[in-house]
Structures are given as C-alpha cells and as structure tokens.
Structure 1
Amino acid sequence: MTTIPEYDIARSAACPLDPAPAMRARQEEGPLTRVRLWDGTMAWLVTGHAEHRAVLAHPGVSVEPARGLPRLSAVEAAAMEAMAAREDGAGGISFILMDDPEHARLRRMVTGAFTVRRVEAMRPATQRIADDLVDAMLAGPGPVDLVEAFSLPLPSLVISNLLGVPYDDHEFFQANSRTIINRDSPAEVRGQAQYALGAYLYTLLGEKLARPGDDLLSGLAERIAAGELSQQEATQMGVLMLFAGHETTANMITLGALALLRQPDQADALRKGDDPQVAAAVEELLRYLTITHGGLRRVALEDLEIAGQVIRAGEGILAVNEVANRDPAVFPDPDRLDVGRNARSHVTFGYGVHQCLGQSLARMELQVAYPTLLRRIPSLALAAEVGQIPFKHDGFVYGAYELPVTW
C-alpha cells in the first residue's frame, strides 16, 4: 500500500528563500501527486509549471470555499467557516474567492485602475516616495530595519494614494492586514480584523459618496450611486485591494533586497542595468522568491485529466506557485538567481482568469524600489546573519518581519 505523504510547507532554515524541501521532493516524484492534509483528507499537489497553468486555466475548477476548497489547518478551517457564516458579509475578500460570472462582473469594475498605462502614470510619484524614504534613511543613524524604513511604507503610500485612503491610518490597516494573512490567526481574531477593515472602508466609502475625489474608492462610490454595486460589495473590494496592495509588494521588496545583498554580483548587474534589464531582473526575482506560500487552492467541479492523472469532481487541488517556478523543464538551474534570465513565464501572479489584478502595479513598484536602494546606497549591506532574520513562516504571504541593514 502506497503511503500518501503529508502536506508540508516548512522551509529549511539553511535555505529560507527556497521552497520547502518536502514540496521539492513531491515535484521530483511528478508534476501531479497526492498529499494528506491535517484532517486526513487528500488533495492533489500540482508542482509542474505546465500542469500548474493547465489547472488554473481550466473552466472546470472553482475558487469558492463553499464548493470544498482544501483547508490547510484547523485554525484556518474555523476562520473560513466563521467568515462564511456572517450574514452581513463584513470583511469578506470579494471576487478572488468567486467564480465567473460574478467574479468577472466585480473585477471589471476596478480593472481600469490597474492598466499598464495608468500604472506608468504613477511611476514618477512612486519614484519620489522611494527617494524620500531613502533620504530619511540616510539622514539618520544605521543600522535600520528596511521593512519599517522602506519596504512597507513605499507600497502603503502608493496604494493609499490610489485608493484614496488616508496614509495617517497606515498602522491600523497594516496591523489588521497582518492578522488576516497569518495562518495561525484564530477565527475570532481574524474575523475581528476583517470586520475592522470592512467597517473602516464602509465608512470611507460613505464619505466618498458625499464628497467624491479622484481615486479608486470614489470610482466605486459612483457605481454604488448608479446602482451597479452595493456598498457592501464595494467595501469587500476595497478591503481586498488595500491589504493585497501593500502586504505582498512589501514582502517582495524585503526578500528581493535580501537575495540581492547576499549575491553582490546580481545586485551589481541590476544596479548598472538599463530599464529593460531592470524589468527583466524584477521578473527573475518574482520567479525566484515567489512570496505566495503553500499553493493556490482550487476544487474540481468535474473530472479533469492532467498529466495523465484524473482529478475527480469534488477533489481539492493545491497549485504550488513557488515550486512550479523552480521547474527545471522551464527554468534551467532553477535554484540559481540570475537577473539576466528571461523569467517572464513565471506563475508568481497565478494564471487564468484569477491572475493577480495588481501585477502591473507591483512590477512598477519593484522596478522603482530595487534600483533606488542599490544606486542611492551603493554600500547597502545586511546588518544581521540570515539565521537571525525572522521569516514569515506563519503567513499565506512569505516574507520577513524585519531586515536589519546598514551602509
């Protein structure tokens, strides 16, 4: 009798920027394998790049929790059930956990704010924010925590400006966002954080209805006034964009800086690169680091044949981005960071209709952040050993809580 291995996303302390050894072991067994979850249920683990794309693009899979998405822990299962039980929907996370056509209806209402053209128009302001943050770093004593001084405030300021959220409230929304994406947050605590953010955005949308501005929330308020969207739906969309718009990019800035500072030749290549070379380096860092942690969850609505295996209707699926991005069939020598590599086919932003809405914004922010740090502070260096850095092993988004640097 074949033993089904347990789902294990624990990363190695010796190689904290690499996927979990157990996940890589499953990849070596094949692109599609079975794993046992905490409650004894089984799920399909997708670790091959081609298979990852095939699953995420298939119309016969669902992202809706009520259809039977895999639950990764008892704590998370309780939190998801508590959220689903709320009659008011407060704190829900909108269209990312909806199937079409409802997913497409809601997503279309905000897509225009994240087009490449609109995002490029934000680049000069983003560059000013980055330069101001570096100025403040250089004006004070070192070492500093890069997370607090640069990685977190940069995307927080950018998303606040885009949405029309007062940056003065950043400590409030950052703290609640951390609670929401922490795997270990109890249902009651996570629910409180979701409700707090929801209530905050609901009130802010009410203010935008009365006094609209030139921002994304005001655009949603217009749709509320036109009867195209309820205020609760708009609130959920605002919560999603607020926490996803700063938490993910902040972790990428931090881990990217760590990876580059550990490999001075790669940092030097990015520092000296022109715009296309910087853009290519960002794609490689996105591939190499892949901060989504542990797999995108789906459930089969019908029997699917992938890589010679049949996934039956009702079976859970975990499409593991960080391992698919290390598939040697697509990325030769995948465990090596090479900022000159063509890595644009990575799946860090997912694939298919649920591909990350804010990917153009994230790319632009990273294209600003890394060169600004490396060019303005050429002597930037780590101020702690890697073993001393507190990594976010407990999060759905991987990163570091602190990154001490000096110059």
Structure 2
Amino acid sequence: MTVADYPMEREKTCPFAPAAGIRAMPGLGRVRIWDGSTPWIITSHADQRALLNDPRLSIDEKKPNYPHMTRSRAAQAPHHPNLITNTDPPEHTRLRRTVNAPFMVKRVEALRPRIQQVIDGLIDDMLAGPNPADLVTAIGLPVPTLVITEILGVPYADHEFFQEASHRAISHDTDPEDGAAAGRDLGEYLAALLVKKMAEPADDVLSEMGARVKAGEMTHTEAVIMGSAILIAGHETSASMISLGTLALLQNPDQLELLRERSDDPKFVANAAEEILRYLTIVHTGIRRIAIEDIDLRGTTIRAGDGVIFDLSGANWDAAEFPEPERLDLSRPARSHHAFGYGVHQCLGQSLARVELQVAYGTIYRRIPTLALAVPFEEVPFAMEGVAYGLRSLPVTW
C-alpha cells in the first residue's frame, strides 16, 4: 500500500481547500512524516470528536515515537519544560489554570471596544495612505499583534523582533539549530521582561504570571515559556485569518455582499467568522498525539506507542458533518468546527481570536465597500511553510 507524505501540498488552483489526498482519505489511514515514520492520520469529524477527549492518547512530546511536526521540534522536545502544549491532565490542568483567566470569555469581551478602536485606526491609516496597499501589513498582522502585546504586557515597539523570531521558531523550513536559537532569543527577551514585571507589576498577563512565580505556583522558566507560546500563537494565527478570510470573501462576492449587508447583526457576523474558520482551517499540519494504550476504532486497532495525527482541515471539510464543505456559506451553522482543535487541549486563545475576527470581518468590508484585489488571484503569494498557512501579502485597492 502506498503511503503519502504528510503534510500534503494544497492545489495551487484551489489553495483554500485541504490537499486532495486529505479529501480522498476514508477517515483513518497512515501517512509518512519527515523522519520516515508512518503514524495514523484521522480526518473524520466524528472520530476526532471521540479521540481528542480520549485519555488513552497523550500529548507528551517526550514519549518515544511521538510524531513530531518538524526535525527542529523533535530536537528541542527533550529539553522543553512542562507546558500546556505537552502535558496531560492533571499537570496540564494545573498549568492551564495559571494562564486561563485573561482569556476567559468575559475578560475578552471587555476588550471588544479596544479591538474596535485598533481596527478603525488601522483602516483610517490605510485609507489615508497609498492605494493599492498590502492588507497583511496594513491590518492583518498589526491587529492581533497590537492586541496580544497589550494583553501580555510586551512593548509593541519590539514587534519586528518577536515576529521574526517566532516565524523562525515554528517554520517547517527552519533547521534545528536555528529554531533553537530563535526560541532562546525570544526566551531571553521575555525572561528579562518578566523580571521587570515582577519588580513593577502592571495590569497584564506577564505581571500575573510574575505574581504566580513569586507565590511558588509556577516556575520562572514555566512563565517564560508560557509567555513565548502566548505571544507566538496570539499574533500568527489571527493575522493569517484576517487576510486569508478577506481573500476568500473576495473570491466569493455573494458571501462578501451578504456580510456587508448584515455587518450590524452581531449574531450573523459571529456565525460568519465560524464558517470562515471552518472553511480555511489554517492549522494545516495536523495536531499530534501518541497512544498510551491500545484503541479500537471501527475495527482497526491503534496500538500503544503508535503516533496519531488529527488533520483538522479534513474534519472541517467532512461532508458528513458539513454538507457541500467546499462551499463558503456564511449562513451555515459551523460552530462545531475543529479549527481550534477539540477537547482539553483546545486553543487557549480561541475567545480572543473570535472577537478579533468578528470585529475585523464586521468592520473592514463595511468601511471599505469597494475593496478589491489589486492583482490577479493567481499572483497572491501564499505562505505554506508554518504550522498555520497564510499570505505573504494581499495587494488590495478600493
């Protein structure tokens, strides 16, 4: 039996869609990853729902045969401290509790006016500047970066440094030495900042974590690594979603017009954001686990020690859950998507991402009703090398 390499390349003619090999899979199969190993891959929405909450699957990246995303991650895994991204309950529960509060729905909703202010200001600047413009640098990347730096307590003035370091740390093209160096650079930067916050606390996440370090509830290293993870995740993914979502809507003018017409309806805009999340599923390299006990899945046994990859785009384009998945339909009930994962390890920042996207999608096209691509669709440069895919630039005119 031929085993396909993973991650698979998307078709250039339809870069929003999951790779053809993912769409053709029966729901459970095998793939070959960078080290030659052949973990299981699960693309069925129902099977992902069942297994992403199954304690017989572990996220512990230090276990033998864990199906690491990259050579760089495999090299660094033995040296990582315990994090919310590599521990199982109850340790995961303890660590998540230390950073949960700022990302709870109520706290995030209180940020909505500030996020609206940020987006309106960036739109003002873009409209006052050159036409055409690059939506990625004008709005897509600054929005989540400004917001996450305020929440975390990191100076926005340093954004070029940490954006470059985080890109090197998570890119599939980064060699292990460079990935480790980028991680160290970011860690040293945040460690120094944490010391300042412990001496002079402010109303931000680093100060809250500093207080927990002082109280003995987490170590200094845990706080630094957690801060790095929040900073990277907090700007990379939402930035991709704002720009990619705009491109997808420009390619689906009927849905873009519907969103413009109903941009004053918060429930419709919220549902539209969920459908765009489902449709794009920007985390395109799968989330990884390893079996710690045998698991029977519809007559097939996943053995203890087997690696397992959950391809989120496969689940989000599963026709059994989302009929006509290739159709972007902003009226579709899409909240059951897996764009943020599922289960106890579901994305910590999902509430923040949702509010950012709701404000962005509800504002940009209403304020710039003539927004259009400034180049042919085929010339828009996609960036596929990271954990999440996105756009290198999005030339737009109005």
Find out whether 1:276 has 2:273 as its counterpart: no
- Supply the AA of the counterpart residue of 1:62: S
Look up the match of 2:223. Answer: 234
Could you tell me how far apart the structure 2 residues matched to 1:53 and 1:9 are?
A: 23
- Closer/same/farther in 2, CA of residues 337 and 95 from structure 1, 3 Å limit: same
Find out whether 1:210 has 2:199 as its counterpart: yes
Could you tell me how far apart the structure 2 residues matched to 1:94 and 1:163 are?
A: 17
Q: 1:84 aligns with which of 73, 77, 82?
A: 77
Deviations 1:326-360 (A, max 9, x none): 00001000000000000010011101110001100
Could you tell me how far apart the structure 2 residues matched to 1:93 and 1:59 are?
A: 18
- 1:386 deviates by 2.1
- 1:302 deviates by 0.5
Look up the match of 2:43. Answer: 47
Could you tell me how far apart the structure 2 residues matched to 1:7 and 1:84 are?
A: 20
- Supply the AA of the counterpart residue of 1:113: P
Q: 2:293 aligns with which of 271, 290, 302?
A: 302
**Residue 340 of structure 2: SS of its match in structure 1?**
coil
Superposed, which structure 2 residues align to 1:354-369 within 5 Å? 354-369=345-360
- Supply the AA of the counterpart residue of 1:352: G
Q: 2:66 aligns with which of 45, 57, 69?
A: 69
Could you tell me how far apart the structure 2 residues matched to 1:4 and 1:203 are?
A: 47
**Residue 179 of structure 1: SS of its match in structure 2?**
helix
Could you tell me how far apart the structure 2 residues matched to 1:202 and 1:307 are?
A: 48
Gaps of at least 5 residues in structure 2 are: none
- 1:82 deviates by 3.2
- 1:39 deviates by 3.6
Superposed, which structure 2 residues align to 1:187-226 within 5 Å? 187-226=176-215
**Residue 52 of structure 2: SS of its match in structure 1?**
helix
- Closer/same/farther in 2, CA of residues 81 and 181 from structure 1, 3 Å limit: closer
Q: Is the 8 A contact 1:54 1:306 kept in 2?
A: no
Question: Which segment drifts farther, 219-228 or 96-105?
Answer: 96-105
- 1:367 deviates by 0.3
Deviations 1:120-156 (A, max 9, x none): 1000000000000000001012111111000000000
Task: Please give the root-mean-square deviation of Cα atoms over the aligned residues, in Å.
Answer: 1.3
Find out whether 1:34 has 2:30 as its counterpart: yes
- 1:56 deviates by 0.9
- Supply the AA of the counterpart residue of 1:160: T
Look up the match of 1:332. Answer: 323
- 1:85 deviates by 4.8
Find out whether 1:145 has 2:134 as its counterpart: yes
Identity %: 51
- 1:112 deviates by 1.0
**TM-score normalised per structure 2:** 0.97
Could you tell me how far apart the structure 1 residues matched to 2:193 and 2:310 are?
A: 36
- 1:243 deviates by 0.7
- 1:371 deviates by 1.7
Gaps of at least 5 residues in structure 1 are: none
Look up the match of 2:372. Answer: 381
- 1:385 deviates by 1.7
Could you tell me how far apart the structure 1 residues matched to 2:5 and 2:124 are?
A: 48
Q: Is the 8 A contact 2:68 2:74 kept in 1?
A: no
Could you tell me how far apart the structure 2 residues matched to 1:285 and 1:403 are?
A: 17
Look up the match of 2:307. Answer: 316
- Closer/same/farther in 2, CA of residues 397 and 93 from structure 1, 3 Å limit: farther
Find out whether 1:24 has 2:26 as its counterpart: no
**TM-score normalised per structure 1:** 0.94
Could you tell me how far apart the structure 2 residues matched to 1:15 and 1:116 are?
A: 35
Q: Is the 8 A contact 1:93 1:240 kept in 2?
A: no
- 1:188 deviates by 1.0
- Closer/same/farther in 2, CA of residues 148 and 93 from structure 1, 3 Å limit: farther
Q: Is the 8 A contact 2:62 2:78 kept in 1?
A: no
Could you tell me how far apart the structure 2 residues matched to 1:66 and 1:329 are?
A: 35
Find out whether 1:125 has 2:106 as its counterpart: no
Superposed, which structure 2 residues align to 1:96-175 within 5 Å? 96-175=85-164
- Closer/same/farther in 2, CA of residues 41 and 80 from structure 1, 3 Å limit: same
Could you tell me how far apart the structure 2 residues matched to 1:196 and 1:121 are?
A: 32
Deviations 1:296-350 (A, max 9, x none): 1111000011233210000011100011100000100000000000001001110
Q: Is the 8 A contact 1:8 1:22 kept in 2?
A: no
Q: Is the 8 A contact 2:102 2:205 kept in 1?
A: yes
- Supply the AA of the counterpart residue of 1:69: Y
- Supply the AA of the counterpart residue of 1:25: A
- Closer/same/farther in 2, CA of residues 200 and 39 from structure 1, 3 Å limit: closer
Could you tell me how far apart the structure 2 residues matched to 1:124 and 1:138 are?
A: 21
Could you tell me how far apart the structure 2 residues matched to 1:85 and 1:341 are?
A: 43
Look up the match of 2:337. Answer: 346
